[in-house]
A and B are shown apart, each in its own frame.
Chain A
Amino acid sequence: MADRRYETLVLIHPEQGEPGSKELAARIRTLIEEQGGTVSQVQEWGFRDLAFLVTKQRRAFYVLFEYRATPKALQEIERNLTLMDPVLRFISVRQAENAPPAALRPARRPEREEMEFEEGGDVDLVSEGESS
C-alpha cells in the first residue's frame, strides 16, 4: 500500500508538565514507527494558550509530528491517540508530497506571564485570540 505524507498536531494536558509531555511525545513517536511510519520531524511547540477551554484547561503542550505512513497505519495511530488520556486533542492532516517541511514554530506569541486566575467566569473577553 502506498504510504502518504501526514502531519499530526497533538495537544497534551498541562498536568504532564514539560518532562511528561516530552516523554509522551517520544511515546507517540514510537507508536508511529511501530505502525510502520517514518517520522521526518517532531516539533515541540511547548506550552501555548488555548483559544478556548478544553476540558477545563487553558493551556496545552503542542507537539507536531511529520511522517509518512499508510492510511491503515494512520487509522491505528489515531485510534491509539484517542485512547491516551493526557492527549486533549489532535488533528491529522494529509500533506502534499511536494510541500516543504513545516517551518519551525509558526509565529508564536511571546510567553505570557503565568497569571493568577480565579475559578470560573474569568475569561478575558477583550484580549481574545491571535488576531492582530
Chain B
Amino acid sequence: MARERTSSRPPRRRGMGRRKVCRFCADKTMVIDYKDARTLGTFLSERGKIIPARITGTCSRHQRRLTVAVKQARTVALLPYTTAYP
C-alpha cells in the first residue's frame, strides 16, 4: 500500500519528479482511526516508528492526526512501540 515512497525519490526534486500526495487528502473516504491498525501500520517503519511526512507525503494536518492515532493504538496494544524487545 504505502508504495509512493520507493518510486518517488528523485535525486533532485526541481522541476520534474512526481510530487507525493497525501493519501488522506487524495481519498476523502479514508479516515484516520486508531482502531484501524492495518492502515496505520502502513505509516510505520519495520521497527514500528512513525514514518516522517517528508517520506510518505502526508500533509501536515493529517500527519498530526495520524501521529495521535498511532499513539492511541499503541496504548491499547494494537500497534507496537518497537519490535526490539527480547
**Chain A contacts to B: CB under 8 angstroms:** 9, 11, 50-54, 60, 62, 64, 89-91, 93, 102, 106-107, 121, 123, 125, 128-132
**Residues of A with C-beta under 8 A to B30:** none
> Using a CB–CB distance below 8 Å, which chain B residues touch chain A?
1, 33-42, 44, 46, 48, 72, 74-81, 83, 85-86
The docked-state distance in angstroms from the alpha carbon of A107 to that of B42 is 13
Nearest-neighbor residue (CB-CB) of A109 within chain B: B38
Contacts of A125 in B (CB 8 A): 83
| Chain B residues positioned under 8 Å from A54 (CB to CB) | 77
Residue of B nearest to A50 (CB): B77
Nearest-neighbor residue (CB-CB) of B73 within chain A = A51
| Residues of chain B within 8 A of A106, CB atoms compared | 33, 35-38
